Amino acid sequence: MSLWTHYHTPTTVDEALALLASYQGCARVIAGGTDLLLDIRHGHMPRPDALVDITRIAGIAALHQDGDVMMLGAGVTHAQIVAELVLAARATCLVESCGVVGGPQVRNVGTIGGNVAHALPAGDGTTSLIALDAMADVVLEGVRQWLPLGELFVGPGQSRLDQTRDLLVGFRFRLSGPREGSAFKRIMRPQGVALPILGCAAWVRLDESGERFADLRICIGPVAKVPACAEAVEEALRGAAVGAEAVERAVVVARETLRPRTSKYRATAAYRQEMIEVLLRRVLPLAVQRARTGEAIPEGVGME
């Protein structure tokens, strides 16, 4: 039995929205299909009458730099992100996270929009977009608007997007500038192919002297029910001198404030708690080093 009856390839946002509306809740948005088709096949959702493929919408698979701002269409694939030099240099954490998603086949069709719309607190691309303070271009109940990305999520696997009616169109975020840098690392089961045990992205800005954190954002997932920054850890480091002491301070505050959950398939809460510390010790110094030197070569991309 076919997984769907009708398959549409609209070329504009309006056409996609009109198609979704015409099926009155019985059509689903599809991009790369790497999550969606498994969900349908495994009965995690009812078989839709129709799939509305957004990847032919004009501009939705485009990356565009406007000065210090980067715009990504929701249909941009992980492989496109990995290949973009300006992102490697100035949004390094995003390249590092998209570079370890699945294998080459998944990265070639899986999109950053699909990663976000799936709304899992462990989504690798999502973790880095949160650390980069991205905004999302969305159409919710017919109203096109920009939302801080974090405001899109309501629970594990749940966002404000009704994927039978709404559309995620794209993202924008500021590229790292002088004295800024970012990094992403994750812990994965050796044979794991899908979501990580834990991922951590950090973005830092150093002060004029290069010796103190002027600002920073750290996203660790899955910890909370939605992708979110570790605000208490960030607060503890803002204004602090960079170096080993700051990393240890981050570890202590993370231990006190972050409560990861046990997942049946991936790891216990206790293991994740320990891994938060490991990731902070790896990611923070790397982001600081990149901010200091202005040089960033993504690590680990395509290695898993």
Ligand X SMILES: Cc1cc2nc3c(=O)[nH]c(=O)nc-3n(C[C@H](O)[C@H](O)[C@H](O)COP(=O)(O)OP(=O)(O)OC[C@H]3O[C@@H](n4cnc5c(N)ncnc54)[C@H](O)[C@@H]3O)c2cc1C
Closer Cβ to ligand X, 110 or 181, answer by number = 110
Q: State yes or no: residue 72 binds ligand X (CB under 6 A).
A: no
Q: State yes or no: residue 206 binds ligand X (CB under 6 A).
A: no
Q: State yes or no: residue 114 binds ligand X (CB under 6 A).
A: yes
Run of H or E residues at 249:
helix 244-257
Q: Which of residues 122-141 bind ligand X (CB under 6 A)?
A: 123-124
Cβ-defined contacts of 266-271 (< 8 Å, 24+):
266/189, 266/192, 266/195, 266/196, 266/197, 267/197, 267/198, 271/197
236 φ, ψ (degrees, to nearest 5): -65, -25
Describe the strand order of the beta sheet including 213-221 as a list of residue ranges. 180-187, 198-206, 213-221
Which residue matches tokens 């790891």? Answer: 267
Closer Cβ to ligand X, 181 or 199, answer by number = 199
Q: State yes or no: residue 54 binds ligand X (CB under 6 A).
A: yes
Least Cβ distance, residue 138 to ligand X (angstroms): 8
Q: State yes or no: residue 113 binds ligand X (CB under 6 A).
A: yes
Q: State yes or no: residue 34 binds ligand X (CB under 6 A).
A: yes
Q: State yes or no: residue 168 binds ligand X (CB under 6 A).
A: yes
Out of 90, 118, 205, 266, name the contact with ligand X by CB under 6 A.
118
Stretch that binds ligand X, among 115-123, 206-214, 229-237, 266-274 (CB under 6 A): 115-123
Describe the strand order of the beta sheet including 50-53 as a list of residue ranges. 6-8, 50-53, 27-30
Q: State yes or no: residue 57 binds ligand X (CB under 6 A).
A: no
Q: State yes or no: residue 16 binds ligand X (CB under 6 A).
A: no
Stretch that binds ligand X, among 62-70, 99-107, 252-260, 289-297 (CB under 6 A): 99-107
Number of Cβ within a 10 Å radius of residue 57: 22
Least Cβ distance, residue 172 to ligand X (angstroms): 15
Q: Among all residues, whose Cβ is closest to ligand X?
A: 114
Rg (CA), the chain: 19
* Residues paired with 217 in a beta bridge: 203
Whole-angstrom distance between the N-terminal and C-terminal Cα of the chain?
34
Stretch that binds ligand X, among 33-41, 64-72, 228-236, 239-247 (CB under 6 A): 33-41
Q: State yes or no: residue 266 binds ligand X (CB under 6 A).
A: no
Which DSSP category does 269 fall into? Answer: H
Cis peptide before 178 (omega within 30 of 0): no
Q: State yes or no: residue 32 binds ligand X (CB under 6 A).
A: yes
Stretch that binds ligand X, among 6-14, 104-112, 216-224, 246-254 (CB under 6 A): 104-112
- Of 97, 138, 126, 105, give the one whose Cα is nearest residue 32: 105
Which residue matches tokens 């204004």? Answer: 239
Run of H or E residues at 94:
helix 92-98
Least Cβ distance, residue 125 to ligand X (angstroms): 6
Distance CA 54, CA 60 (A): 8
Q: State yes or no: residue 61 binds ligand X (CB under 6 A).
A: no
Which residue ranges make up the site for ligand X (CB under 6 A)?
28-36, 38, 54, 74, 100-102, 106, 110-111, 113-115, 117-118, 123-124, 161, 163, 167-168, 193-195
